[in-house]
Copies of this chain bind each other. A is one copy, B any other.
Amino acid sequence: MGRPREFDVDDALETAMELFWRKGYEGTSLTDLTEGMGITKPSLYGVFGNKEGLFLKALERYERTKMNFFHEALKEPKARDVAEKILRGFADSQTAETGPSGCLGINGALACSEAAAEIQKCLIENRHRGERELSKRFERAAEESDLPAGHEPYDLARYIMTISQGTAIQAASGADRPALYRVIDMALQFWPETVAQN
């Protein structure tokens, strides 16, 4: 009951996500948000709590709609395919023609004032979580003799995430998808397509 909402919450959240993605948490003002979302401040606060709550919901949406390739990639039977799908998935997302370049999880609050410290901490933890999940997957691969010799699972995981974070900066600096793909090709060169399957 009560007056019906005049805007679509999902559409509004999509817009907020893109704004935070492009301009970062602190670089996006409430005026940017309300004008972009086509709603007033009281509406924004009524639905999303405050700016911080809105960002967290936007991040959640980002993970759900743009980072879904990550968990899909973990299901690949071979570790090398996991790595490659993750790398190309990130590069694709970072260079999509619609939407901002780079990565919300990095652009959001890499370096910021104390006012955004909580968001920054949250994004760092977010990155660590992804790295941990990949590390777990590579631990399984190690048990299956599915890793290249001489490498620890967590080192490989950090390596893959480092490349992906690097391409995020490259994309934010104007690099296009083919360029990132060539970087990925080189990054995977040391990893034989088929590992000693004895």
**Residues of A with Cβ closer than 8 Å to B?**
21-24, 26-29, 32, 102, 106-108, 110-113, 116, 124, 127-128, 151, 155-156, 158-159, 161-170, 172-175, 179-180, 182-183, 186-187, 189-190
Interface of A is mostly: helix
> How far is B29's CA from A180's CA once the two chains are assembled, in angstroms?
35
**Shortest CB distance A114–B (Å):** 8
Measured between beta carbons, the chain B residues less than 8 angstroms from A28 are 113
Known: A27-B111, A165-B170. 16 other contacts (CB 8 A): A28-B113, A106-B169, A110-B110, A110-B172, A111-B172, A127-B173, A128-B173, A128-B174, A155-B179, A155-B183, A158-B170, A158-B182, A158-B183, A161-B166, A162-B163, A162-B166
Inter-chain contact A112/B27, CB cutoff 8 Å: yes
Whose C-beta in chain B lies nearest to the C-beta of A107?
A: B111
Measured between beta carbons, the chain B residues less than 8 angstroms from A183 are 155, 158-159, 162
The 5 closest A-B pairs by CB, nearest first: A166-B166, A107-B111, A24-B111, A162-B166, A165-B169
Copies held by the complex:
2
Measured between beta carbons, the chain B residues less than 8 angstroms from A110 are 24, 102, 106-107, 110-111, 169, 172
Whose C-beta in chain B lies nearest to the C-beta of A190?
A: B189
**Shortest CB distance A28–B (Å):** 7
Measured between beta carbons, the chain B residues less than 8 angstroms from A161 are 166, 170
Measured between beta carbons, the chain B residues less than 8 angstroms from A155 are 179, 182-183, 186
Identify which of A32, A106, A112, A165 gathers the most chain B CB atoms within 10 Å of its CB: A165
Q: Of B166, B182, B187, which one neighbours A165 at CB under 8 angstroms? A: B166
